[in-house]
């Protein structure tokens, strides 16, 4: 039997929004854990959190901390909401980082910068991995059918795009907030579509928002990871931000994005273009469970206690 420090943290939770739950396993230097153990924990947490991050000490001279992510089905190269949740907790609870302005975090997509803005803004910002743009342009009719939308719901003024800012992400522009809210795709249909086009995630978005001062409303579907929808997402919205920059549709410094199917209480994701280039996404976290995860030898399933 193995026991690990465990927290459940809701990323991007604020006001009436519920955020996006992430699991956080904090590994001590002497903790032994295999890839199979991490995948098993991810599988056992299906329906409880969408992804779990496994954090350990970094390599001196390279990074402060290192992280890997697992969903219920497979390892995830980069998970934005889990990074927000875990890094927000780290800079608030670890005396080594509480007063640091920034730290370096190693992921499978490279080393990313974390800005500690908990005192100023009540959140952390994560520098998204450098974007990779694809020339793939799925047809509007096929895309609409996979999303169970009318082809007229897709905005013809903006092309459908594919960008990797951590995950291969298809970006589908819609003409209205109503279309974005009522979109209700079938899990297996959308999963088949995503796999056929070699994408991990499908993002729908519109420039129409519910609240003044907000710039976009998005929803993020992740059927290739074993669940339909991510309620609040860093990497998906980072891909969207990079795509808008490339299309000359975002020329300012910041974006405020409403996300999710709840019109009245959306989750809020913030994007920022720092002076030194690149793109950062920001948010905070709410710790809901703080305890241990017990991974048994197979007699009983692991469980947070």
- The answer to whether residue 107 scores a pLDDT higher than 90 is yes
Q: Which residues contact 141 (CB under 8 A, 6 or more apart)?
A: 151
Sequence-ordered alpha helix ranges (H) in 21-173: 35-44, 80-93, 140-147
User: pLDDT tens across 2-53, in order?
Assistant: 999 999 999 998 777 889 999 999 999 999 999 999 999 999 999 999 999 9
User: pLDDT tens across 224-261, in order?
Assistant: 999 999 999 999 999 999 999 999 999 999 999 999 99
The reported pLDDT for the residue numbered 102 is 97
pLDDT class of 304 with cuts at 50, 70, 90 = low
The reported pLDDT for the residue numbered 299 is 44
User: pLDDT tens across 169-193, in order?
Assistant: 999 999 999 999 999 999 999 999 9
* Count of alpha carbons within 13 angstroms of residue 241, beta-carbon side: 31
pLDDT class of 305 with cuts at 50, 70, 90 = low
CA distance 179 to 173: 10
Q: What is the DSSP letter of 62?
A: T
CA distance 230 to 21: 9
Is 292 within 8 Å of 4 (Cβ atoms)?
Answer: yes
pTM: 0.90
pLDDT class of 296 with cuts at 50, 70, 90 = confident
* Count of alpha carbons within 13 angstroms of residue 106, beta-carbon side: 12
The reported pLDDT for the residue numbered 284 is 94
- Kindly list the structural domains of the chain, giving each domain's residue range(s) and its CATH number in brackets, ordered by start: 2-128+284-304 (3.10.310.10), 133-268 (3.10.310.10)
CA distance 281 to 171: 17
Largest separation between any pair of C-alpha atoms in the chain: 57
User: pLDDT tens across 276-287, in order?
Assistant: 889 999 999 999
Tell me the average pLDDT of the chain: 95
* Percent of the chain at pLDDT exceeding 90: 91
Any idea which residue has 């710039």 for tokens? Answer: 215
């Amino acid at each position: 039997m193995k026991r690990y420090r465990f927290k459940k943290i809701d990323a991007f939770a604020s006001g009436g929004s519920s955020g996006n739950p992430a699991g956080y396993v904090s590994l001590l230097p002497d903790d032994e854990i295999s890839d199979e153990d991490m995948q098993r924990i991810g599988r056992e947490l299906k329906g409880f959190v969408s992804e779990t991050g496994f954090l350990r000490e970094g390599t001196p001279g390279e990074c402060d901390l290192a992280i890997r992510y697992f969903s219920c089905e497979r390892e995830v190269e980069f998970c934005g909401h889990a990074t927000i949740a875990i890094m927000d907790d780290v800079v608030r609870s670890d005396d080594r980082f509480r007063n640091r302005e920034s730290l370096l975090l190693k992921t499978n997509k490279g080393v990313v910068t974390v800005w500690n803005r908990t005192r100023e803004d009540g959140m952390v910002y994560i520098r998204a991995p450098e974007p990779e743009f694809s020339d793939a342009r799925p047809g509007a009719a096929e895309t609409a059918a996979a999303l169970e939308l009318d082809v007229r719901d897709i905005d013809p003024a903006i092309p459908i795009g594919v960008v990797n800012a951590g995950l291969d992400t298809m970006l589908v522009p819609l003409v209205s907030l109503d279309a974005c809210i009522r979109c209700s795709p079938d899990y297996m249909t959308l999963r088949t579509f995503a796999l056929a086009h070699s994408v991990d995630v499908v993002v729908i978005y519109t420039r129409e928002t519910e609240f003044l001062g907000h710039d976009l409303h998005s929803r993020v579907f992740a059927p290739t990871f074993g669940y339909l929808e991510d309620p609040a997402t860093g990497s998906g919205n980072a891909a969207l931000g990079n795509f808008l920059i490339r299309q000359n549709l975002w020329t300012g410094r910041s974006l405020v994005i409403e996300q999710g199917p709840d019109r009245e209480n959306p989750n809020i994701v913030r994007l920022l273009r720092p002076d030194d280039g690149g793109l950062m996404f920001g948010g905070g976290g709410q710790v809901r469970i703080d305890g241990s995860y017990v991974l048994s030898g197979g007699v009983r399933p692991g469980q947070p206690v």
